[in-house]
Amino acid sequence: MEKPRQGFWGLWNISFGFFGIQIGFALQNGNMSRIFQALGTSLDDLPALWIAAPLTGLLVQPLIGHFSDRTWLGRLGRRRPYFLAGAFLAALSLFVMPLSEVLLVAAVMLWILDASLNISMEPFRAFVGDMLRKDQHTAGYAVQTAFIGAGAVVGSVFPYVLDSWGVANVAPIGHIPDTVKYSFWFGGLALFVAVLWTVLTTKEYSPAEMEMFDGPAPDSGLTMRALASRSLAGATLWIVAGGAITFLVATLGLEKEVYLLGALLAGYGIASLIAIRMAKSGRDNNILSHIVGDFSGMPDIMKKLALAQFFSWSALFIMWIYTTPVVAQYMFGSADPASEAYGDGSNWVGTLFAIYNGVAALAALLLLPKMAAKFGKVKTHIACLVAGSAGYLSFLFIRDPNLLIFSELGIGIAWASILAMPYAILASSLPPSKMGVYMGLFNVFVVIPQLLVATVMGSILKAFFPTEPIWTMAFAAVVMLCAALAMLRVKEVSD
């Protein structure tokens, strides 16, 4: 039995909540570096403060995916309880964040905000897979991407609009400008209303209906038996690798943030060691064993997509951290966060982010479905990633800020594809009963590169070009091209 085909308004309602969630992410991505610098942090300390966001996603998304696969709250459904809870907490965080006048408070609020956004966001990925037939996955994720782009445009451009209306865009060090404050408060309200729309206008399929559509869920005992058969040596190697990185940081005097990378590797090794031992002793009915087992038993196509995700999101995170200081210094002539020129540069970055997200929204609706139908999802994604690499590379040669609009065209096309194609390919290959946990685990390959950038990029910048952040864009161009090359290993999946 096939799921009913969704019309335009069905696709709209399923993903409209992502419009609000992305307003929150856009405000975070476009303004947190500015907030941190306004509260007194230096350029090379920015990556360390940004660690909170990806680390939160790494911890939250697999857990939310695991629980949402197993949730059913009657009329409220499976995924929608998480939409609602995350949206409420994220809206509250957006209201509190701009009131921060101490750097530590702002960093903690970023942690809470990102956790809340992830609680809402992760089930939305699985929600598309739950609600749509396989032959509508590309359309479903394209519409979701369009809402992501539209929400990001609104969130990115709002400080610029307020500035044009005469709202104060400059504040002394230790204070946050009014344009940022009012933008965050508007974003909190918009986020909650948009998510509430999806909650009220959609009806999820019950477990019995899902079984009719997709057949009985696969035996989870197979995963646990596979976990129990694993050698402890592999888990031990992760611990050794984490210890080796920690030793190198201490010996070579690397930035202290790199300790986190060693801790994460060792932590995964310890978690795997515990999960395997528990599975071998027959105590496998626990969250840790299920998540470690699902991670180690992920489908082959997910492993190949993971490598492309790793490189894609490394490039994106470099862009989010460093575009503001790059544009302010090279196009507006100031590296001083308290200066008017720096504020103008920051606002222009908001506009540039709005442009690439607007391009992404249009590309998702008008370009990607046609390209995917003609060339396939894999070739479409490769072409879009190459366009993104060219966009990053152009930053090295452009000094007129207006010409950066052309750079954002390539970046926007890549962004649209990154948000749609991998998920459309993956959703058609996953067991429906594990859609949530696998989408959450897939996020690991979004988060790990962000943590790597946040821990290592500061050290590279400080060591090789402490006053020349423009070279971060060269890094972004190279790693985005690596993502395109990694996609050559992925075979097309028919709907």
Quick: pLDDT tens for 387-422.
Answer: 999 999 999 999 999 999 999 999 999 999 999 999
User: Residue 208 — very low, low, confident or very high, per pLDDT cuts 50/70/90?
Assistant: confident
336 or 84, greater pLDDT = 84
Task: Give the contacts of 247 (CB within 8 A, at least 6 positions apart).
Answer: none
What is the share, in percent, of the chain residues with pLDDT greater than 90? 29
Q: What pLDDT score does 276 carry?
A: 86
Over residues 172-182, mean pLDDT: 81
User: Residue 218 — very low, low, confident or very high, per pLDDT cuts 50/70/90?
Assistant: low
Quick: pLDDT tens for 100-126.
Answer: 777 777 777 888 888 899 898 888 888
Over residues 52-79, mean pLDDT: 84
Burial 9-25 (b: 16+ CB within 10 A, else e): ebbbbbbbbbbbbbbbb
* Statement: residue 423 has pLDDT above 80: yes
Determine which of 207-216, 343-352, 398-407, 417-426 has the lowest per-residue pLDDT on average. Answer: 207-216
Q: What pLDDT score does 478 carry?
A: 95
Burial 122-160 (b: 16+ CB within 10 A, else e): bbbbbbbbbbbbbebbbbbbbbbbbbbbbbbbbbbbbbb
Residues in the chain, total:
495
* Statement: residue 495 has pLDDT above 90: no
Q: What pLDDT score does 296 carry?
A: 78
Q: How far apart are CA 41 and CA 49, in angstroms?
A: 9
Quick: pLDDT tens for 36-50.
Answer: 777 766 655 666 666
Determine which of 36-40, 291-295, 442-446 has the lowest per-residue pLDDT on average. Answer: 36-40
- CB atoms inside a 10 Å sphere around CB 74: 6
